[in-house]
Amino acid sequence: MARKIKFPLKMKDGYDARSIEELREHFDLESVLGYFADGRLQTWLRDRYFDDEAQQVSELDPNDSELVTKICSILGVEAQEQAVNVDVHEINRYNEKRKQLLEKYPEPELLNNIDAVAFNEDDIIQIIEKGIKEIYLIDNEFEFPFEISDGKIVKKDGSPLPADIGISLYDCKFIGKGATLHIDSSAGPMCEIFRLEFENINFIFADEDLELFFKARILKDIDSSLEIAKSLYAGKEYKDAYDYFLLAAELGNPVAQSFLGDMYYYGQGVQEDYAEAAKLYRKAAELGNAYAQYSLGWMFDTGKGVTEDCAEAIEWYRKSAAQGYSCAQYILGQMYYYGRGVKEDYAEAVKWFRKAAEQGDVDAQNRLDELL
């Protein structure tokens, strides 16, 4: 007859308890309650012929306020007073999550952060309630966000949270492992309130406008930010446009920096400030933006926001003109024609007027008509 294998109970210190004496010596309540919740404690006791103890454990109510004391008494160990409020269901869920991870994602990063792993939306709520800010979303499609109430989330099914509290989403980061978030229309106001991060998440959006908004405000997508900003700017909604240009500008986008430079130069949605305009034009110019190079040249040419410097102006005009920016080509032609900052050179002036004229610059075309 085959001999039955008696599996040990692994304790938190890594010890495999094979006897009641070893269990008592290496006892830790969290592990034992987990084995109680999934039934392995009862089996372990029966395999070692502690039938009475196994029966007593089987008859215990997980919701009994004296559960900890009773289990400790049955196993012959001293009750741990600090663990009286241990939630058996939570421990069982922890073990379930660990088992699921071991089957598909046995990665140390996940196994070492099981408390932060979410397989469903209830998991997310429990995790955030604990104050955990990095949450791993595993193999599921999640509805997001939850219902919003006074800046906090509540369960979508309307069921109350413990003690009627909502859960703050401030500064949370969601890390995906085969997970998808469905973003619905209630995400709009939430995006304005919370500072969220996402990594390796697939998204499905309820509509295109929401997708654009979410990508700009939450995912900090430069193209989305620029698209919204330009649309608002064209509609002369300068204050709102400023916010979206700023999002892209802070991520180092030279087009957004140039637009912000214009807004400070012309006082659009902000107080007119030539010095701030010059700073923004310089940032974009140094990143190779032709318009910003021309604009910075103009600032040095006119002494607005910077000390007037004709040589510096010409340097930036040249860089912009070399990229084919017609306004810079035209003004460079003017400087050669009049000898401003450079030696007067009729042929060089005509060369730059012609380059600008070929791009449809009307002023350059008129100058060529006058000169040729």
**Between residues 354 and 84, which one has the greater pLDDT?**
354
pLDDT over 90, % of the chain: 44
Tell me the CB-side half-sphere exposure of residue 192, using CA atoms within 13 A: 9
Predicted local confidence at residue 3, as pLDDT: 54
Q: Name the band, by pLDDT with cuts 50, 70 and 90, for residue 147.
A: low
Average per-residue pLDDT in the chain? 85
Separation between Cα atoms, residue 264 and residue 117, nearest integer Å: 46
Among candidates 208, 160, 198, which has minimal Cα distance to 176?
198
Are 135 and 172 in contact by the 8 Å Cβ rule? The answer is: yes
Residue where the block lists tokens 């060089």: 348
Residues 6+ apart with CB under 8 A from 316: 285, 293, 294, 296, 297, 300
Predicted local confidence at residue 86, as pLDDT: 62
pLDDT digits (tens, 9 = 90+) for 224-248: 999 999 999 999 999 999 999 999 9
pLDDT of residue 218 exceeding 70, the answer is yes
Tally Cβ neighbours within 10 Å of residue 209. Answer: 12
User: For the residues of 31-95, what is the DSSP string, one character each?
Assistant: HHHHHHHHTHHHHHHHHTT-HHHHHHHHT--TT-TTHHHHHHHHHT----GGGTT--HHHHHHHH
**Between residues 348 and 151, which one has the greater pLDDT?**
348
Separation between Cα atoms, residue 295 and residue 258, nearest integer Å: 9
Provide mean pLDDT across the span 107-134.
Answer: 85
pLDDT of residue 264 exceeding 90, the answer is yes
pLDDT digits (tens, 9 = 90+) for 164-215: 444 566 678 889 998 888 887 655 555 555 677 888 989 888 888 888 888 8
pLDDT digits (tens, 9 = 90+) for 125-135: 788 878 888 99
Q: pTM surpassing 0.85?
A: no
Separation between Cα atoms, residue 235 and residue 13, nearest integer Å: 65
Provide the residue ranges of all domains of the chain, joining segments of one domain with +: 9-78, 90-217
Provide mean pLDDT across the span 66-88.
Answer: 75
* Maximal CA-CA distance, the chain: 113
pLDDT of residue 149 exceeding 80, the answer is no
Are 291 and 325 in contact by the 8 Å Cβ rule? The answer is: yes
